[in-house]
Amino acid sequence: MTPLHPAPDRERLRAKALELGFVRVGVTPATEAETFGFLESWLDAGMHGDMGYMARHRQARKHPQSLLNGVRSVWMMAWDSSFGHHPGGGSADTKQGRIGRYAWGMDYHVALKDQLKLLASWCQEQWPKMRTRGVVDTAPLLERDFARRAGLGWVGKNTLLIDPQKGSHLLLAGFLTSEEFEEDKPFTADHCGSCTACLDACPTGALVGPRLLDARRCISYLTIETKGPLPADDSVRQLMGNWLLGCDICQDVCPWNKKASRISLSSPDLPQPALQKPILQSVDPLWLLKASSNEIQELLEGRAWDRAGESGLRRNAVFVLVHLVKQAKSRDPDGEWACQVEKALEVCLENSDCAVSEAAQWGIKQLRSLGGLVKA
Ligand code: SF4
Ligand code: SF4
Give the Cα separation of 312 and 325 in Å (integer): 20
Q: Is 250 in the pocket of ligand 1 (CB under 6 A)?
A: yes
Please name which of 315, 310, 286 lies closest in space to residue 296, comparing C-alpha atoms.
310
Expressed in percent and rounded to 5, the helix, strand and coil fractions of the chain are 40, 10, 45
Amino acid at the residue 333: P
Q: Does residue 278 contact residue 301 with C-beta atoms inside 8 Å?
A: no
Mean predicted confidence (pLDDT) in 227-235: 88
- Ligand 1 centroid to Cα of residue 365, in Å, is 26
Cα torsion 122, 123, 126, 128: sign: negative
In this model, does residue 88 exceed pLDDT 80? no
Higher-confidence position of 56 and 36: 36
Report percent pLDDT > 90 for the chain.
69
- The answer on pLDDT for 17 being more than 50 is yes
Q: What is the pLDDT of residues 260-279, one digit of tens each?
A: 766 555 555 555 555 567 78
**Which of 73, 74, 81 is CA-nearest to residue 23?**
81
Q: Is the CB of 253 under 6 A from ligand 2?
A: yes
State if residue 198 touches ligand 2 by the CB under 6 angstroms criterion.
yes
Ligand (nearest to CA of 213) = 1
Structure confidence at residue 376 as a pLDDT band (50, 70, 90): very low
- Atom number of ligand 2 nearest to Cα 191: 7
Centre of ligand 1 to C-alpha 260, Å, is: 20
Task: Give Cα separations from 76 to 176, 177, 361 (angstroms).
Answer: 9, 11, 46
Q: Output the pTM of the full model.
A: 0.90
CA dihedral 133, 25, 127, 19 (to 10 degrees): 110
Residue in 178, 180, 183, 175 with CA at minimum distance from that of residue 119: 175
Q: CB atoms < 10 A from the CB of 72, how many?
A: 18
CA-nearest residue, atom 4 of ligand 1: 218
Cβ of 169 closer than 6 Å to ligand 2, yes or no, is no
- pLDDT score at 275: 54
Report the alpha-carbon distance of residue 158 to residue 197 in Å, rounded. Answer: 9
Query: How many angstroms separate the CA atoms of 262 and 165, rounded?
Result: 9
Spatial distance between the Cα atoms of 101 and 84, rounded to a whole number of angstroms: 10
- Annotated catalytic residues are 137
Structural domain boundaries of the chain? 10-368
**What's the one-letter identity of residue 250?**
C
pLDDT band at 80 (very low <50, low <70, confident <90, very high): confident
- Nearest CA owner, ligand 2 atom 4: 198
pLDDT of 38 over the 70 cut: yes
Q: Is 156 in the pocket of ligand 2 (CB under 6 A)?
A: yes
Higher-confidence position of 327 and 288: 288
What's the pLDDT tens digit per position in 184-205? 999 999 999 999 999 999 999 9
